[in-house]
């Protein structure tokens, strides 16, 4: 018998019993243990209990007195294991089923989607239908999703640094997954693309923070929308536009402030055309300082218009 079948049989036996079961009673009721010696059974049963608990199944240990001597026994309380009825209407269940089967996350088996819908009170039958589209699921997605729900701080690598984030919101935008929240290292609101996270994501204890009532979504800046590594650029904003730009996007990094009120902002550029559009939108009140390659491209681009008009 496969181990997964044995684990499912343990859960079924403990849920079906009105009283806690001792290890010997479980051995008698659960197929898969009958060929084990006493020592092998004890070792296997201990491993099975640990795996069930690690999977989130609340296997509790209690002491029972219905035997000659008090002994350890095990139970699964339904109120701790079963999902409470969310009270969805038939129309809401139908909409949820349509959403879950129309767009699928790559890497999540179809039968798990159907099983989740059944647990919510819906019915199966949509698994065979071809999805309209599919979404990639980055390795970090499951951990980040759980951390958002649990209010747990996450730690991960990003752009060569170790970052610590209170994740407030997970968002899919422009074909990418983003997590937004309070960056503990910068003491500011920041957003991160999950496909650019380096290495594993670890989550701390649940309930570590209280998310704000207002959860801002990720801000997609035109110069950031592109593939490949980012290149740092600096843009000088004159006082006439600096205040309004920073008020509109308070997450921008200010690397220098001039006595006259001008500021230099630091941008991570993956899309030169988006950077050019941002700079030119402020006419002669903004100047691209560096890197030299982007500055030269901007000058050449403007020179092309001058040649056309001459």
Write out the residue limits of the CATH 1.10.10.10 domain(s) in the chain: 3-81
Helices 3-16 and 38-54 sit at what angle, rounded to 10 degrees?
80
Is the domain spanning 3-81 CATH 1.10.10.10? The answer is: yes
Q: Does residue 114 register a pLDDT over 80?
A: no
3-class secondary structure per residue, 249-306: CCCCEEEEECCCCCEEEEEEECCHHHHHHHHHCCHHHEEEEECHHHHHHHHHHHHHHH
Confidence of residue 35 (pLDDT cuts 50, 70, 90): confident
Quickly name the fold that domain 223-309 has: Alpha-Beta Plaits (3.30.70)
Residues making up the chain, counted from first to last: 310
Q: Averaging pLDDT over each range in 27-41, 49-63, 284-298, which range is the top one? A: 284-298
Average pLDDT, the chain: 83
Q: pLDDT tens digits for 233-289?
A: 999 999 999 999 998 888 788 999 999 999 999 998 988 988 999 999 998 899 999
Residue corresponding to tokens 């092309």: 304
Confidence of residue 128 (pLDDT cuts 50, 70, 90): very low
The answer to whether the CB of 178 falls within 8 A of the CB of 199 is no
Beta strand 253-257 with 176-183 is: unpaired
Query: In terms of DSSP H, where are the helices of 151-271?
Result: 239-248
Q: The domain 141-219 is classified under which CATH number: 3.40.50, 3.30.2320, 2.30.30, 1.10.287?
A: 2.30.30
């Amino acid at each position: 018998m496969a181990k997964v079948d044995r684990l499912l049989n343990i859960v079924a036996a403990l849920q079906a019993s009105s009283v806690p079961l001792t290890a010997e009673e479980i051995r008698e009721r659960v197929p898969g243990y009958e060929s084990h010696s006493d020592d092998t059974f004890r070792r296997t049963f201990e491993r099975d209990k640990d795996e069930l608990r690690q999977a989130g199944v609340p296997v509790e240990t209690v002491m029972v007195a219905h035997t000659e001597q008090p002994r350890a026994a095990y139970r699964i309380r339904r109120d701790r294991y079963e999902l409470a009825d969310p009270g969805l209407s038939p129309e809401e269940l139908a909409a949820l089923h349509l959403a879950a089967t129309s767009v699928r996350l790559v890497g999540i088996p179809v039968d798990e989607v159907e099983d989740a819908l059944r647990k919510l009170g819906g019915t199966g039958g949509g698994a065979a239908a071809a999805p309209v589209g599919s979404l990639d699921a980055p390795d970090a997605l499951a951990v980040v999703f759980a951390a958002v729900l649990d209010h747990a701080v996450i730690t991960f690598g990003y752009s060569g640094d170790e970052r610590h984030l209170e994740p407030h919101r997970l968002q899919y935008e422009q074909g990418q997954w983003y997590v937004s929240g309070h960056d503990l290292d910068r003491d500011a609101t920041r957003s991160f693309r999950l496909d650019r996270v380096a290495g594993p994501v670890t989550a701390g204890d649940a309930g570590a923070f209280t998310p704000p009532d207002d959860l801002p979504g990720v801000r997609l800046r035109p110069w950031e929308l592109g593939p490949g590594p980012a290149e740092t650029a600096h843009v000088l904003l004159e006082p006439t536009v600096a205040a309004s730009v920073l008020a509109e996007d308070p997450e921008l990094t200010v690397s220098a402030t001039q006595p006259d009120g001008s500021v230099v902002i630091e941008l991570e550029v993956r899309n030169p055309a988006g950077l050019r559009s941002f700079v030119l939108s402020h006419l002669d009140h903004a100047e691209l300082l560096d890197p030299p390659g982007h500055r030269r491209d901007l000058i050449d681009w403007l020179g092309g218009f001058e040649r056309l008009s001459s």
